[in-house]
Structure 1
Amino acid sequence: MPKVLISDKMDPKAAEIFRARGVEVDEIIGLSKEELAEIIGKYDGLAVRSSTKLTPKILESATNLKVVGRAGIGVDNIDIPAASAKGVVVMNTPFGNSITTAEHAIAMMFALARQLPEADASTQAGKWEKSKFMGVELTHKTLGLIGAGNIGSIVADRAHGLKMKVIAYDPFLTEERAVELGIEKVTLDELFERSDFLTLHTPLTDQTRGIVSREALAKTKKGVRIINCARGGLIDEEALKDALESGHVAGAALDVFAEEPAKENALFGTPGLISTPHLGASTSEAQVNVAIQVAEQMADFLLDGGVTNALNMPSLTAEEAPKLKPYMALAKKLGSLVGQLAHDAVKGISIEVEGAAAELNQKPITGAVLAGFMGAYSDSVNMVNAPYLAKERGLDVREIRHEREGVYHTLIRVAVMTDEGEKSVAGTLFGEDAPRLVELFGIKIEADLDGDMLYVVNEDAPGFIGRIGTTLGAAGVNIGNFHLGRRDGGGDAVLLLSVDQHVDEPILLEVCNLEGVKTVKTLSF
């Protein structure tokens, strides 16, 4: 019988589930690190919240530990690299707070529509200012969602009950899934232009940081109301302050801020602002949910080998692991490349293997591709939870296997289906363990995918290579490697430049303005 230790205060339902499933459980709260190290060797699983710190030193004593479950999202208290090296799976419960966060967003929307905090303060101050607090109805208003994943879809469902029209921008949302949710899928610009209320439900990544920018706010409908219960940093706070003060934005309700705890913020005191101290997950039900989920996930793993919401590498047999490692590294890089270059309006993705790769278990390869592809837009995606996130968004994932061996001893091809047709990249292994790109959107090109890179599409004409080298050199950007591919002489050419540092926007603009340049984008691996 597997044995689990619950070392942090957790809802009693967690222990009940373990015992009901046939897992022995001890609840010992408030252990010092020395006490935990002394007893951890007896347990197959460890269930924690945020108080217990799982350090490399404690892991040294965890001779039987197979899984650590965090009842919640954050895992700063767990040394994941050390756990991975020890062969311990680390799980969290990222969806246990979904309903609670969605309901908080709806509550904020009501508060904005009827100016509830201001009206409450005024009334309790002995005033009776009925005419001052003229609100708006939610019925028949257009609600714009940035992100229609787990939380966003719940918000959409609640909004339909309020008779609102729901539109959404989400690169991973397929038309079929949008129809299922009763959502109209739109472009980001169209969402800004049409929304009466705008709510954010997307992770904070390099692609989403500042997505509600000063330029975006200028595109919004006058009188728009904005809600953010997702992540601080998605909104340009200075620009939002200006928009509130000018009256272009009628109100904003923020549960999250770029810097937290937000004891000081430029937005505080701005007319039309409602703020709460990151309360999205703060309900008793949510705390019960995460306890139940962590117990179910850990029991599934210990009893059946099922892995859900793991944050590190999934378990592989001793025979599979060394063989799959280089293929998974290649697959993740290819997924990341196509995700960074062709993420908009993606309907489906196919992973095709041939040669030596076709002789292996394809599931880890597919998981690695999806982790790379979706990891460009979420900082918590890995090869275990990426397939779940893809399914949630209705992304059609196809696996194709060819026993044949082509030009290369092994080949992995990743293709995405978009409104503009299919776009694919392909790679191989050099020397059995060195990932190498060999084809990019139909153009033959050999390149290492590593570190910071610059992707450029230009007209194939004399002098261009010199011009871009001179431009980057003048800006202090050192080129490490230079990879060139082209379809036909005089047609389009593709450059992949590895650079020694990230290329900032002003430099990108200079490159973009060079004669013959069609596309410029930074890449990161």
Structure 2
Amino acid sequence: MAPRVLVSDKLSETAVQIFRDRGIDVDFMPDLGKDKEKLAEVIGQYDGLAIRSATKVTAALLEKADHLKVVGRAGIGTDNVDKDAASKKGVIVMNTPFGNMITTAEHAIAMMFAVARQIPEASASTHAGKWEKSRFMGVELTGKTLGVIGAGNIGGIVCDRARGLKMKVVAYDPYLGAEKAEKMGVEKVELEELLTRSDFITLHVPLTDQTRNILSKENLAKTKKGVRIVNCARGGLVDEAALAELLKSGHVAGAGFDVFAEEPATDNVLFNLPNVVCTPHLGASTSEAQENVALQVAEQMSNYLIDGAVENALNMPSMTAEEAKVMGPWVKLAGHLGAFVGQMTDEPIKAINILYDGVVSDMNLAALNCSVIAGIMKRANPDVNLVSAPVVAKERGIQISTTNQDKSGAFDGYIKVTVVTDKRERSVAGTVFSDGKPRFIQIKGINIDAEVGAHMLYTTNEDVPGIIGTLGQTMGQNGVNIANFTLGRASAAGEAIALLYLDEAPRKDALSALEQTGLFRQIKPLQFDIA
């Protein structure tokens, strides 16, 4: 019996035809996604659901979806899909993360031109019957320095287009290696240098704890007088109130914003300023981009329903059902190991070396590699998944190497992940015990035995008396309960490490109190997805 797919949002007829051409029974009802009651009535008939943003795939809807195997989102954002509920139901959630890169990059370039030449304001003036040539004195892009914050997929395209416009491009991206930067034809710089040198600044990073307010009031004050700032990435990257004041004072000559801290943005401090161009989150809004993501989601869903191939899945690794039964705990371990070294590494990564020993060496190493790489890359890009992670790593010029070997130690199997940068190598190893729970067994060559928790604290210190008491007392005084406490050392009086499993993330005052003791060389809070 042919698989059945429901298209409940507006996809192109060409995309719908892809399903038909692959032998899939498809029902095209582009307005059904707006009627949640009717959708719930019929969803039980389908193996696949293709959507855009109008359809809300809730836990209640998934409860009715007894035969549903895959949800495909034509686009990047999947906020309208309850991914946890889908995972519990065994439903794969796919998106199309690369379909609108060019469109978003071109919108950023268009905003730069619009801000540089005051095109919207000049258009409004001319439509009003005025002829104010002297009022709208613009600047050229040619020869100017463009500062690109985030040189990944979209930022990389912006760099390429800007170089074609004869701009000098400097880029700030902690994960951009020197070799990759040279190949792109851009100068890799630190953020402070970018701020002081750039005539234009454009942002192309996701919104994370590290990037939130990256253009803060303090950083905006460091910018070159007359700078123009463009944000077509995510709201929340720029302190909008501080930017508004600098626009009014003339320190910032202009700004172009497609995204805002609160959306829909019906009121904002940047609105109605004459030197600001605003658009309503149009980065992906071109007919080509919408068509591309529609075609991609149809291809991906067809490949899965017909051949079992998994592409751009957000909630499962690429593996067969048989492999998943055995590999599930090892996939989690691989992700935890990647997340550990990813959170510990601030400088650009040149290489990732993964060693598989014993029983794990005979498993689907491609899937395990994806889990390791995704764990590492999630700090820089929370949207990365098990399928897209290797692509992102390749684009950043990161070399991936894998070694598998027969059982060589006390454990039936283990995984060791080593990250290589220009400054150092950092490694961590782990195994899966008979209870199915992942464990950290080695950090920096020091043997330990630590259960993985959602909130952890890693410290290094000289092996001297009083460390355990200091850690316990400081956490206790700051209301943080320690669920588990693991210690290890290289040698007596040598380097020692501690890994604390906490009931909650440690607050800044607790970390500050530890720093003030002067006993610790390194203090690093860590977070892991243990769901």
TM-score of the pair, normalised by structure 2: 0.91
Q: Does 1:234 align with 2:237?
A: yes
Q: One-letter code of the match for 1:150? A: N
Over the residues paired in the alignment, what is the CA RMSD in angstroms? 2.5
Change beyond 3 A, Cα 1:383–1:190: same
Contact 2:96 2:297 in 1 (8 A): yes
Residue correspondence of structure 1 range 346-495 to structure 2 within 5 A: 346-495=349-498
Shift of 1:128: 4.7
Corresponding residue number in structure 2 for 1:500 = 503
2:31 counterpart residue number: 30
1:336 aligns with 2:339: yes
Query: What's the CA shift string for 1:209-232, capped at 9, x where partnerless?
Result: 122223332433333222111111
Question: For this pair of structures, how many residues does the alignment match?
Answer: 525
Contact kept, 8 Å, 1:468 with 1:514, in 2: the verdict is: no
**CA contact 2:358–2:414 (8 Å) conserved in 1:** yes
Residue range with higher mean Cα deviation, 339-348 or 268-277: 268-277
- Aligned residue for 1:306? 309
Q: Report the alpha carbon displacement of residue 325 of structure 1 after superposing the two structures with TM.
A: 1.0
SS in 1 for 2:296: helix
Query: In 1, distance between residues paired with 2:253 and 2:19?
Result: 50
Q: Is the 8 A contact 1:245 1:271 kept in 2?
A: no
Q: Determine helix, strand or coil for the equivalent of 1:208.
A: coil
Determine if contact 1:151/1:201 at 8 Å carries over to the other structure: yes
CA distance in 1 between counterparts of 2:517 and 2:437 reads 34
Give the corresponding residue for 1:263.
266
1:200 corresponding residue in structure 2: 203
Unaligned runs of 5+ in 2: none
Residue type of the partner of 1:282?
Answer: S
Larger deviation, residues 84-93 vs 152-161: 84-93
- 1: CA distance between counterparts of 2:278 and 2:507? 33
Contact 1:416–1:422 (8 Å) recurs in 2 = yes
Q: Does 1:137 align with 2:140?
A: yes
Deviation larger for 86-95 or 477-486:
477-486
- 1:301-353 per-position Cα deviation (integer Å, ceiling 9, x unaligned): 23333322111114643432221111111111111011100142101112211
Report the alpha carbon displacement of residue 110 of structure 1 after superposing the two structures with TM.
1.2
Question: How far apart, in 1, do the equivalents of 2:495 and 2:221 lie?
Answer: 35
1:321 to 321, 324, 347: 324
Pick which of 93-102 and 56-65 moved more. 56-65
Aligned mates of 1:491, 1:133 — CA distance in 2? 67
Distance apart, 1:109 and its partner CA? 0.9
Distance 1:434 1:489 in 2: 30
Deviation of residue 469 (structure 1)? 3.9
Shift of 1:125: 5.1
- 1:74 corresponds to 2:77: yes
Mapped to 1, the partners of 2:191 and 2:343 lie a distance apart of 17
Letter matched to residue 342 of structure 2: G
> CA, structure 1 residues 106+470, in 2 after alignment: closer, same or farther (shift >3 Å)?
same
Distance in 2, matches of 1:276 and 1:505, equals: 37
Number of the residue aligned with 1:248: 251
Q: Are the aligned partners of 2:407 and 2:413 in contact in 1 as well (CA < 8 Å)? A: no
Task: Give the CA deviation at 1:267.
Answer: 3.5
Does the 8 Å contact 1:313/1:384 carry over to 2? no
Residue identity matched to 1:254: F
Give 1:515's match in structure 2, choosing from 511, 515, 518.
518
1:45 maps to 48
Deviates more, 1:342-351 or 1:428-437: 428-437
For 1:31-86, what per-residue CA distance to the aligned partner results, in whole angstroms no more than 9, with x for missing partners?
A: 34454455445443221222333344544554543322111222233333333333
Q: Post-superposition, which runs of at least 4 consecutive aligned residues in structure 1 deviate over 6 A?
A: none
Residues 307 and 388 of structure 1, relative CA distance in 2, 3 Å threshold: farther
Q: Which amino acid aligns with 2:286?
A: T
Q: How far, CA to CA, are the matches of 2:513 and 2:260 in structure 1?
A: 33
SS at match of 1:347: strand
User: Aligned residue for 2:11?
Assistant: 10
Distance 1:407 1:139, change over 3 A: same
The answer to whether the Cα contact below 8 Å between 1:223 and 1:247 also exists between their aligned partners in 2 is: yes
CA contact (8 A) 2:11 2:30 kept: no
Moved more, 514-523 or 345-354: 514-523
Please state whether the residue corresponding to 2:349 is helix, strand or coil. coil
Query: Structure 1 residues 3, 423: closer, same or farther in 2, change over 3 A?
Result: same
Write the distance in 2 (CA, Å) between the matches of 1:178 and 1:298: 35
- CA gap 1:176/1:283 in 2 versus in 1, 3 angstroms: same
Tell me if structure 2 keeps the 8 A contact 1:477–1:500.
Answer: yes
Distance across 1 between alignment mates of 2:109 and 2:231: 11
- Which amino acid is the alignment partner of residue 146 of structure 1? I
Who is 2:105 aligned against? 102
Task: Report the more deviating stretch, 329-338 or 232-241.
Answer: 232-241
Give per-residue Cα distances to partners, 1:139-192, cap 9 Å, x unaligned. Answer: 121212121222111111211110011222223333343333222223333323
TM-score normalized with structure 1 length: 0.92
Judging changes above 3 Å, is the alpha-carbon distance between structure 1 residues 219 and 456 closer, same or farther for their aligned structure 2 residues?
A: farther
What displacement does 1:472 show? 3.6
Separation in 1 of the partners of 2:508 and 2:133? 49
2:225·2:252 contact (CA, 8 Å) conserved in 1?
yes
Distance 1:51 1:484, change over 3 A: same
The one-character-per-residue Cα deviations of 1:393-437 (angstroms, maximum 9, x if unpaired) are 222112211113313222110111101132111112233512111
How much has 1:132 moved relative to structure 2?
A: 4.0
Match of 2:286 among 283, 286, 299: 283
Q: Contact (CA 8 Å) 2:453, 2:502: kept in 1 or not?
A: no
Q: Is the 8 A contact 2:203 2:231 kept in 1?
A: yes
Distance 1:468 1:221 in 2: 44
Q: How far apart, in 2, do the equivalents of 1:243 and 1:502 lie?
A: 36
* Aligned-partner Cα distance in 2 for 1:492–1:480: 24
Letter in 1 for 2:16: A
- Give the partner amino acid of 1:295: A
**Are residues 66 and 481 of structure 1, via their aligned partners in 2, closer, same or farther at CA, if it must alter by over 3 Å?**
closer
Partners in 1 of 2:489 and 2:194 — Cα distance? 37
Q: SS of 2:410's equivalent?
A: coil
Aligned to 1:297: 300
Could you tell me which amino acid in structure 1 is paired with residue 20 of structure 2? R
**2:53 is paired with a residue of what secondary structure?**
coil
Could you tell me how far apart the structure 1 residues matched to 2:269 and 2:435 are? 54
Q: Which residue identity is paired with 1:351?
A: I
- 2:26 partner amino acid: V
Q: Write the distance in 2 (CA, Å) between the matches of 1:7 and 1:271.
A: 41
Q: CA deviation at 1:269?
A: 4.5
**Contact conserved, 1:206 with 1:377, CA < 8 A, in 2?**
no
